Chain A
Amino acid sequence: MRAVRALGSEFQKVFTTRMWWLIAILLVAYVAFLAGGFGAFLGWTIENPDAAQTTGNNTQLPPGMQLAPLLYSFASSVGYVFPVLLGALAVTGEFRHKTLTPTFLAEPHRTTVLSAKFVSQLVVGAGLGVVAFTTSVGTGAAALAAFGLDTELDTSDTWALIGRGVLAMALWGAIGVGLGALVPNQVAAIVIVIAFTQFIEPILRLAASLNEVTAQIGQFLPGAASDALVGASFYNIAAVGSPEALEWWQGGLALLAIGVVATVIGGATTWRRDVS
């Protein structure tokens, strides 16, 4: 009963501040720009191979790479930073605004509060996933259709990919909670999210793929695990992805484990501390 109340309170916290829709708007804009823009660009090069050739760019997709899943997966392959941010802010915001005092007065069992944050951000992350895939499928399919290419919306594989993508976004929200519990300083948490997702991890994935042994480890990097779960990513064609990849369910379990371990460690350290 207390768990249900704590969960309700956490949802209220998310939706009574402006951050969630700010994040949602940025997510939609970013995914629409990349999925629509990249779709239109690739559509144009396929339709006008000669013109594209003269620009000197090698715009050929690797063999066996399908365009539609690639475009749709932009929702999670670039959009995953948004649920992580929102999840981290759900924790760091309590430290920053010193609202842990009223929170722990209303529910003194701190583990209950942190668990409620974990579960609520799973759900909010899934919501952002639905928004992101609606955007990527909407803009991506529109771009494909405009150039008379197959949108592949009639295949169950496409819809399975979307489902796994929404699951990945949910897990990223939970990872955000874990990160926030580990790094309660809001500015530090935001810097870590941006730096790690946009810079450090892509480099690590590239570096790891250069060697057989590190490639085995590299596939457990959160971004790589996430791409494995979804099953398609522009990282694969950008040749940043490791040649090794987990099964989709292994990728999902790796993400879940990262979220749980971070949250448990954070819950046993910063979350236990004196609140002042």
Chain B
Amino acid sequence: MAAGMPIEITGLSKRFGQVTAVDDLSFTVEPGRVTGFLGPNGAGKTTTLRVLLDLERATTGTATFGGTRYRDLPRPLETVGASLDANFHPGRSAKQHLAVYATAAGLSKSRVPAVLETVGLSEFAGRRVGGFSLGMRQRLSLAYTLLGDPGVLVLDEPVNGLDPEGIRWIRGFLQSLAHEGRTVLVSSHLLSEVQQSVDDIVIISRGRLVKSGPLSSLELEVAPRTVVDSPDRLRLAGALDQAGLEYTEDGEGFVVDEPDPGRVGHAAFVAGVELSALHRVTSGLEDSFLSLVGGGEQA
């Protein structure tokens, strides 16, 4: 296995005519950790990864592996394994597909059955890819990334199309790759898909960096609030108004912009309002994520 090295994106911009897909983006992905590269569809994730892998040209800025551009890596497949889209020639078998690229990269033929075994496709090795399900294609795509036993893995939406068992498997697998010291960058448009396996997050929206850091830092993004309800909502609303608390009404009562339920309870007590519910809600990571990318309503 090659050593994991950091992925360094510096001042990266990519414009397609008038459209700016990636806008002055900078972040670093460290080895030994799984990093989630997150953002809604169309945020510029895939474009960033394509520029990183020299499939597209940056308008300005650089994207390197420990300072070296992809095309300057002496042995690219043994340094970086990447899967961007599950595209194959439908007429080739899984084994043939991998063998074609093993030859191009000068890798040992024994790597082909080895990686097929790793992703659980051994029994389909001789089948034409044209008949593969989306999940099998995802696995074959992953097998391609592992062909050169690289120290860096770049995976674009690897969870897409996997069944629940496959999702559980890939989570554990990504963690084990990182524990071996590899750099693992996984993109997704859904935080919930990857939140159980990532250590760090990089969030982009409309081509710009919104947040990067450990996953736990996301929890601090949105303050906890208090949910309160009463058989007499009209009087409760009056009590909250009197105490100067901001709130919104929803199905289960009022959601108050106040982290301390004690203060909300006190306001009700002072006004003599009977309460049927009073508890604190910490917003989920997904809420924090959505509020950061501005893509959704507060749940």
Contact = CB atoms under 8 A, between A and B. Distances in A.
B179 interface: no
B57 A1 contact: no
Contact of B87 (A9, A97, A107): A97
B85 A101 contact: yes
Interface string B262-273: 000000000000
Interface string A189-210: 0000000000000000000000
A273 to B, nearest CB: 9
Interface string B76-92: 11001010110111111
Contacts of A55: none
B230 to A, nearest CB: 56
Contacts of A106: 76-77, 101, 104-105
B50 A109 contact: no
Interface residues of A, number: 29
Contacts, number: 83
Contacts of A12: 96, 99-100, 103
Most A C-beta atoms less than 10 A away, residue of B55, B87, B100? B100
Interface in B91-120: 91-93, 96, 99-101, 103-106
B141 to A, nearest CB: 9
A18 B91 contact: yes
Contacts of B77: 105-106
Nearest to B57: A274
A17 B89 contact: yes
Most B C-beta atoms less than 10 A away, residue of A97, A99, A100, A108? A108
B87 A101 contact: yes
A107 B148 CA distance: 13
B274 interface: no
B71 interface: yes
A101 B103 contact: no
B89 A99 contact: yes
B207 to A, nearest CB: 16
Contacts of A107: 76, 104-105
B76 A108 contact: yes
Contacts of A108: 54, 70-71, 73, 76
B55 A16 contact: no
A97 B54 CA distance: 19
A1 B55 contact: no
Interface in A216-256: none
Given A16-B93, A101-B84, A103-B101, 9 more contacts: A16-B100, A17-B89, A17-B91, A97-B87, A97-B89, A99-B89, A105-B53, A274-B57, A276-B55
27 contacts: A2-B106, A5-B103, A6-B104, A8-B103, A9-B101, A9-B104, A12-B96, A13-B100, A16-B100, A17-B89, A17-B92, A19-B91, A97-B90, A99-B88, A101-B84, A101-B85, A103-B104, A105-B55, A105-B77, A106-B101, A106-B104, A108-B73, A274-B50, A274-B56, A274-B57, A276-B55, A276-B56
What are the 5 tightest A-B residue pairs by CB atom distance, in nearest-first order?
Answer: A9-B104, A98-B87, A274-B56, A108-B71, A106-B104
